[in-house]
A and B are shown apart, each in its own frame.
Chain A
């Protein structure tokens, strides 16, 4: 299934920081068919460095980042549901972001791009969903930052979502999560090539971005998965080099992933999106999650993974407990996996079972309510 990324354009979008961005474009893909009643639409939110290409094969032959979960007969079954995935605001894969030309100046926004939030990202997604003629989504789902979008949808537009599937995520970024992001940002900004973000006609801050990605990658894996994958194996040598070239497999892997990332991701987007992640707090700083969920009637399927130490299970359990307190409709499972945070992308068999059953029951609930 070869898929095409499409673009929708809107005159302007008001942002949490007070600024207005105009115009604004959003890149998106869709899979499956919207039914006549418009009742089978599911929005997928991508993780930090993901994009709109969630499923199928692109023209370049690249499979979508969640192709194992989205497709005919898969967890998000495209024979039954109409799936939408868009690139986030502030991103660099088709949606307006710091690398986009500012029409007022004729050059990229760079650091003059307004600081955005997860709610801004969701607000733009809502404009897209509205423009597709969908009045209520069957579900909003996603892992990591995608899970934050699912939660934000349920809280900000509760009347527009039957259900939400937040996976491997949190209701607010913790000190540890902010700390890792800050290391990534500092690595980029410490690279002289970053040049206060004005590098678009020059050499990009490849070394800084690559280091940021290396740190990120460590947090996505687990002690166990790294031990299994690399151990202390040496890279194409029998003995230590007694120098600072690559000795270990894990070093080689991280350098490779870092370098590969630079060719597809914009350093300024890295700064802006990590900021949106760090600002994320469903309670707007009050800490009272019960109040945030008070008027929410959305059904929830919350999933965490036992070895995820970046978004540990307790953060998902906090969400579940609060939903219980308001007698909300919540299903929750802490799936056993050794893959760490990456589990929602790579360890999908059990996740598929959960998502399939939950979506079926949500479709039943929605159909009964619609009668």
Chain B
């Protein structure tokens, strides 16, 4: 992955972005839910010639995304997907946001309605540091992965890799590919214990 003039060099800072960028085929239609400042979309548009769209709730992020040339609009993920026709996109991305949505199952279902494939990344609540923190402190875990106090965390649904796989199985969401990361390194052995971040390609 090369650094380009769109200021997307910081894409390298997010290992899940790197995986997502690898998964996405050139020339496809991509919707990024919770697109932030539009870094990933700008990179995909410039380097993979995708048709990029983004949804973001924070006005200041939307502003930066649009200033970057990304067609982003200010809106809420939980209700924003309803307007799109079926299979409007090749990929719908939800990176590090599933745990912040009010109705995760509904969001996943909608993602697979408007997209042929869904790409979901999230921090793994089953990681050993989280387990240890809880075990030894007896308090809501505060770790590198989950750095917030319980009362000001944006995360409202905590899930592990196993939880996500379980949900997909129960709802018949076919998992096409899965990636587990510890920092930037891929984890293959005991992922639910050792993986910090999971990236799933579903659909």
CA separation between A302 and B88, bound complex, in Å?
A: 21
Q: With A331-B73, A332-B74, A333-B62 known to touch, is A325 a contact of B67 (CB < 8 Å)? A: no
| Chain B residues with CB under 8 A of A324 | 73, 80, 83-84
Mask, A326-358, CB within 8 Å of B = 1, is 110111111110000000000000100110111
What's the dominant secondary structure at chain B's contact region? Answer: mixed
* Nearest 6 pairs of A and B residues by beta carbon: A361-B69, A357-B67, A332-B73, A324-B83, A331-B71, A353-B67
Cβ of A137 within 8 Å of any chain B Cβ, yes or no, is no
Tell me the chain B residues, 63-117 only, with Cβ under 8 Å from chain A: 63-75, 80, 83-85, 88
Cβ of A321 within 8 Å of any chain B Cβ, yes or no, is yes
Cβ of A320 within 8 Å of any chain B Cβ, yes or no, is yes
Q: With A299-B71, A327-B88, A334-B74 known to touch, is A357 a contact of B59 (CB < 8 Å)? A: no
Please give the residue numbers on chain A whose beta carbons come within 8 Å of chain B beta carbons, in ascending order.
Answer: 299, 301-302, 320-321, 324-327, 329-336, 350, 353-354, 356-358, 360-361, 364
Closest to B67 in A: A357
| Chain B residues with CB under 8 A of A320 | 73, 75
B83/A329 in contact, CB under 8 A = no
A329/B63 in contact, CB under 8 A = no
Q: With A332-B74, A350-B63 known to touch, is A325 a contact of B83 (CB < 8 Å)? A: yes
| Closest CB in chain B relative to A345 CB, distance in Å | 19
| Chain A residues with CB under 8 A of B51 | 329
Closest to A362 in B: B69
Closest to A300 in B: B71
B63/A334 in contact, CB under 8 A = no
Mask, B26-66, CB within 8 Å of A = 1, is 00000000000000000000000001010000010011111
16 intermolecular pairs with C-beta atoms under 8 Å apart: A324-B73, A325-B84, A325-B85, A327-B84, A329-B53, A332-B74, A333-B59, A334-B59, A353-B63, A353-B66, A354-B63, A354-B67, A357-B67, A357-B69, A358-B66, A358-B69
CA separation between A324 and B79, bound complex, in Å?
A: 13
Q: With A325-B85, A335-B59, A354-B63 known to touch, is A330 a contact of B73 (CB < 8 Å)? A: yes
Closest to B56 in A: A333
| Chain B residues with CB under 8 A of A302 | 73
Closest to A358 in B: B66
In the complex, besides A330-B73, A334-B59, A353-B67, 8 extra interface pairs with C-beta distance below 8 angstroms are A327-B88, A331-B72, A332-B62, A332-B72, A332-B73, A334-B74, A357-B69, A361-B70
CA separation between A301 and B71, bound complex, in Å?
A: 8
A333/B66 in contact, CB under 8 A = yes
| Chain B residues with CB under 8 A of A327 | 84-85, 88
| Closest CB in chain B relative to A81 CB, distance in Å | 16
| Chain B residues with CB under 8 A of A354 | 63, 66-67
B69/A321 in contact, CB under 8 A = no
| Chain B residues with CB under 8 A of A350 | 63
CA separation between A299 and B64, bound complex, in Å?
A: 18
Residue in B53, B71, B75, B80 whose Cβ sees the most chain A Cβ within 10 Å? B71
Our pick among A330, A336, A358, A364 for the contact of B59 (Cβ within 8 Å) is A336
Closest to B65 in A: A331
Our pick among A325, A326, A331, A364 for the contact of B66 (Cβ within 8 Å) is A331
CA separation between A291 and B100, bound complex, in Å?
A: 36
| Chain A residues with CB under 8 A of B85 | 325-327
| Closest CB in chain A relative to B67 CB, distance in Å | 4
CA separation between A19 and B81, bound complex, in Å?
A: 45
| Closest CB in chain A relative to B80 CB, distance in Å | 8
| Chain A residues with CB under 8 A of B70 | 331, 361
CA separation between A330 and B69, bound complex, in Å?
A: 11
| Chain B residues with CB under 8 A of A357 | 66-69
Mask, B2-38, CB within 8 Å of A = 1, is 0000000000000000000000000000000000000
CA separation between A335 and B58, bound complex, in Å?
A: 11
| Chain A residues with CB under 8 A of B64 | 353
B66/A330 in contact, CB under 8 A = no
| Chain B residues with CB under 8 A of A330 | 71, 73
| Closest CB in chain A relative to B25 CB, distance in Å | 19
| Closest CB in chain B relative to A6 CB, distance in Å | 33
CA separation between A333 and B71, bound complex, in Å?
A: 10
CA separation between A320 and B54, bound complex, in Å?
A: 13
CA separation between A39 and B65, bound complex, in Å?
A: 25
| Closest CB in chain B relative to A356 CB, distance in Å | 7
Our pick among B53, B74, B83 for the contact of A333 (Cβ within 8 Å) is B74
B63/A364 in contact, CB under 8 A = no
CA separation between A6 and B59, bound complex, in Å?
A: 40
| Closest CB in chain B relative to A119 CB, distance in Å | 27
CA separation between A317 and B7, bound complex, in Å?
A: 29
| Chain B residues with CB under 8 A of A331 | 65-66, 70-73
Tell me the chain B residues, 163-178 only, with Cβ under 8 Å from chain A: none
| Closest CB in chain A relative to B29 CB, distance in Å | 8
B74/A360 in contact, CB under 8 A = no
| Closest CB in chain B relative to A61 CB, distance in Å | 33
CA separation between A320 and B83, bound complex, in Å?
A: 10
| Chain B residues with CB under 8 A of A299 | 71
Closest to A329 in B: B71
| Closest CB in chain A relative to B124 CB, distance in Å | 32
| Closest CB in chain A relative to B74 CB, distance in Å | 5
